[in-house]
């Protein structure tokens, strides 16, 4: 099972994350677009994620609420720009704790020999926004999400 | 009447455009969000723009078709992430001639003494995408749009 790779070049306003999964991309894409699957992998390991809204189509809105181990709730929302099964999802992302700061996220799913390489690019409105998210522990959080996703996929093969 | 200022720093994946209008921001915001106004200012001077779709709300989709003087049609579409009257619009943007290349656009309207400063930021998925758009004549096109918008606003004061 691959590990998450995170690339955040100094002075740039983007982050690339790549991860290899031992599953065909239809399954990985489904885990990304199935409201029932989201609570099983999205967010930190010790948190609970609830799907408030998830309209998986162009112009559809999504909103997830993550409840941390400390009971504090964090809302996240955005809209889907493009849903291209099983290849690509383009969406916006806003953390409601920092309202007005928006990201453009592009998730690309590539399959080879039954395995799937996920590339997730986040483009920020500024380098400061990106650096703030990196400092806030984005990599650790993404690592936990991706590990949980890999475990979920292992049960679905 | 102010001129358009375009800032595209080398190696960055964003463009900032600012323009000053002799009109209160409610009017400028309305020209941005009124489907009837779009054909009057959006696009090149010698082209004709048709609003195919314009759902001005979070998650709403928009699609404009610009018909050039040569009769060739170009489609553009995206979704609205946020509509905050009369302050801010955050939306995605995709030129259908380059499918799969998406921008995140943030338009901010600030008023002072009855005048409005518009700041439009475009964040691209890559420096190459941005440089391609700059080379394709983005500045000249934006200049024409902004001049037309200023003229339209002058008739509405």
Output the DSSP codes for A107-155. EEEEEETTEEEEEEEEEES-HHHHHHHHHTTHHHHHHHHHHHHHHHHHH
How does the average pLDDT of chain A come out, rounded? Answer: 95
Which among B79, B90, B102 has CB closest to A102? B90
Assess whether pLDDT exceeds 90 at residue B13. Answer: yes
Give mean pLDDT, residues B86-115. 97
**In which residue are the tokens 């500045």 written?**
B139
pLDDT at B35: 98
Across A121-144, average pLDDT: 93
- How far is the C-alpha of A8 from the C-alpha of A28, rounded, in Å? 24
Which three-class secondary structure state does DSSP give residue B154? helix
Q: Nearest chain B Cα to A78, which residue?
A: B81
Residue B14 predicted with pLDDT over 60: yes
User: Do B116 and B23 meet the contact criterion of CB atoms below 8 Å apart?
Assistant: yes
Indicate the residue of B61, B102, B124 with minimum beta-carbon distance to A59.
B61
pLDDT at A98: 92
Share of chain B above pLDDT 70, in %: 98
CB distance A100–B81 less than 8 Å? Answer: no
Cβ–Cβ below 8 Å for B12 and A13: yes
B106 and A106: CB-CB below 8 Å?
no
Residue B2: pLDDT over 80: no
How large is the ipTM?
Answer: 0.94
User: Taking CB atoms and an 8 Å limit, are A94 and B104 in contact across chains?
Assistant: no
Q: What is the pLDDT of residue A47?
A: 94
Q: Which residues of B119-133 are buried (b: 16+ CB within 10 A; e: fewer)?
A: ebbbbbbeeebbbeb
Tokens of B77: 């579409």
Residue B3 reports pLDDT greater than 90: no
Other beta carbons within 10 angstroms of residue A89's beta carbon come to 21
What is the tens place of the pLDDT at every residue in A53-97?
999 999 999 999 999 999 999 999 999 999 999 999 999 999 999
Q: Is 60 exceeded by the pLDDT of residue A27?
A: yes
- The answer to whether A102 contacts B81, with C-beta atoms less than 8 Å apart, is yes
pTM strictly above 0.90? yes
Length of chain A: 157
Residue A2 has pLDDT above 80, yes or no: no
> Which of A57, A104, A125 to substitute to test the interface with B, most B CBs within 10 Å?
A104
Model confidence at A156, pLDDT cuts 50, 70, 90, reads confident
Chain B residues with beta carbon closer than 8 angstroms to that of A106: 102, 125
Q: How confident is the model at residue B137 (pLDDT cuts 50, 70, 90)?
A: confident
| A78 contacts chain B (CB < 8 A) | yes
Per-residue confidence (pLDDT) for residue A3, from 0 to 100: 86
Q: Could you tell me the pLDDT band of residue A1, with boundaries at 50, 70 and 90? A: low
The encoded tokens of residue A67 equal 């409840």
> Which residue of chain B has the CA closest to A81?
B79
Record: contact A92-B104, CB cut-off 8 A: yes
A148 interfacial to chain B (CB closer than 8 Å): no
- Of all residues in chain A, the percent with pLDDT exceeding 90 is 92
């Amino acid at each position: 099972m691959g590990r998450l790779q995170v690339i955040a070049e100094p002075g740039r306003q983007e982050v690339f994350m790549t991860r290899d999964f031992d599953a065909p991309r239809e399954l990985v894409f489904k885990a990304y677009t199935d409201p029932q699957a989201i609570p099983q992998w999205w967010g930190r390991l010790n948190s609970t994620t609830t799907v408030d809204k998830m309209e998986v189509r162009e112009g559809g809105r999504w909103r997830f609420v993550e409840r941390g181990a400390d009971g504090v709730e964090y809302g996240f929302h955005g809209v889907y720009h493009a849903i291209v099964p099983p290849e690509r999802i383009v969406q916006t992302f806003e953390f409601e704790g920092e309202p007005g700061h928006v990201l453009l996220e592009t998730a690309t799913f590539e399959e080879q020999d039954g395995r799937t390489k996920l590339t997730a690019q986040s483009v920020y409105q500024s380098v400061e926004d990106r650096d703030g998210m990196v400092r806030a522990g984005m990599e650790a959080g993404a690592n936990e999400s991706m590990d949980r996703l890999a475990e979920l996929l292992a049960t679905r093969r």
